[in-house]
Amino acid sequence: MLRSWFEIALWKRIFGALVLGVIVGVIWGPGSENIAWVGDLFIRLIRMVVVPLVFVTLVSGVVAMGDPSKLGSLGVKTLAIYMFTTLAAISIGLFLAAILQPGVGVDLSLAVPGEVQEAIPLSERLMSIVPSNPFAAMAEGNILAIIFFALLVGVSLLTIGDRGKPLADLMEAGAETMLKITHWVMEVAPFGVFALIAYVSGTQGAAALLDVITLAMAVVLGCVAHMVLVHGLLIMKFMLKLSPVTFFRGARDAMLVAFSTSSSSATLPVSMSVAEENLGIRPVVASTVLPLGATINMDGTALYVGIVSVFAAQAFGIELTLADYVLVAGSTTLVSVGTAAVPGASLFLMAAVMETIGISPEQIAIVIGFIFPFDRPLDMLRTSVNIGGDLSVSTAVANWENEFDKEVFDRPLKF
């Protein structure tokens, strides 16, 4: 029986756990809180892996690159395409919100105003990239600071040559070790996913979405359209000449885990594993682009913010001009880079963007209070989109930097 369990493809086990979790949660209701600890334990396991995995794989990847100058080219391309996909996502969200008009006729009078966390200034956010204590940054899980320090270590190992070989070998062995631990943790994923989904469906459930069915429909359609049109057709098929079906097949494990955990950073070890083993992305790109994406890339969140901003304007009877739509798209794209590490980043991002189109702080609080009860199911969906976008961008950058193994990408996976 145990052998039969492991012979089933991991994505099937995770998807089956998702479906079973929804059923159990709906039947069990609030009692599903009793198994929430299993899901929390799974998240702790994968978060345990994040910091050492990012550090050792990035150092090892830079050393394997052999030329520090390639980092500049890689970084510019990564940031450029992340900004492009975020702008594309917000544009799709705005278009759907304008067509479907989810806020027309909505009564917000009974909504309990929500609280918005104060923003971290962009200057402070940029300053935190350089850690005053790299070990403290690792303890706090500050991914950007970890990336910065790991890049310095990797480049320094390249410059000192053979004298740095023992440490370079240690980092390479450490990367292999952390990937093996990630594989072990992933075998626990079906049980963690089951508990997480059962808890969410039992305590909140999809029924909450019925109160705002048009808004939820716009978000779901936007997420699907963004993944298919931008990442599937534009990037995979037309830019890279790769099969979109093969890409989504390779990314499915990470996207399913992202859906269940609602956390890009918690999904990072899984993303890095499937990037190398399923999508043919070599470690130097996977260890750089994916951690950066988990921190600043917010395709799903940007799309959601655009839709909710238009929803709020419609609900309060605020007429939006073409200039307002352009302002929302531009501000969301720019502000998202500086807010990704803030807990509840999407809520702050919504507040910052809605202010630009004349919605008052009191009205913003009412909107956030209105959407909060059903935010979790949609958060799961947009996190999955964020992860899919990270993997798509990583595939593109790997192609452009000649760090892509097409044989691995095209290799049939166990169905």
* Tens of pLDDT, residues 25-67: 888 888 888 998 998 898 888 888 888 988 998 888 888 777 7
Give a yes or no: residue 97 inside a domain. yes
- Closest Cα partner for 394 from 178, 240, 233, 176? 240
- Asked if residue 300 lies in contact with residue 385, where contact means CB atoms within 8 angstroms, the answer is yes
Give a yes or no: residue 356 inside a domain. yes
Interhelix angle 283-296/70-100, nearest 10 degrees: 40
Residue listed under structure tokens 């709906």: 26
Residues written for the chain = 415
83-97, 109-123, 221-235, 245-259: least confident range = 109-123
Which CATH number belongs to the domain containing residue 16 in this structure? 1.10.3860.10
29, containing H or E segment: none
| pTM for the structure as a whole | 0.84
- Closest Cα partner for 65 from 294, 286, 396? 286
CA distances from 229 to 10, 28, 44, 58, 244 (A): 27, 38, 34, 31, 10
- Closest Cα partner for 105 from 212, 16, 2? 212
Whether pLDDT at 275 is above 90: yes
Angstrom distance (rounded) from CA 404 to CA 283: 10
pLDDT digits (tens, 9 = 90+) for 218-250: 999 999 999 999 999 999 999 999 999 999 999
Q: Which two tokens stand for residue 242?
A: 């790769």
What is the extent of the structural domain holding 137? 2-410
Mean of pLDDT values over 195-216: 73
Give a yes or no: residue 415 inside a domain. no
Number of domains the chain contains: 1
Q: What is the DSSP string of 237-277?
A: IIIS---HHHHHHHHHHHHHHHHHH--HHHHHHHHHHHHHH
Give a yes or no: residue 129 inside a domain. yes
Angstrom distance (rounded) from CA 308 to CA 321: 16
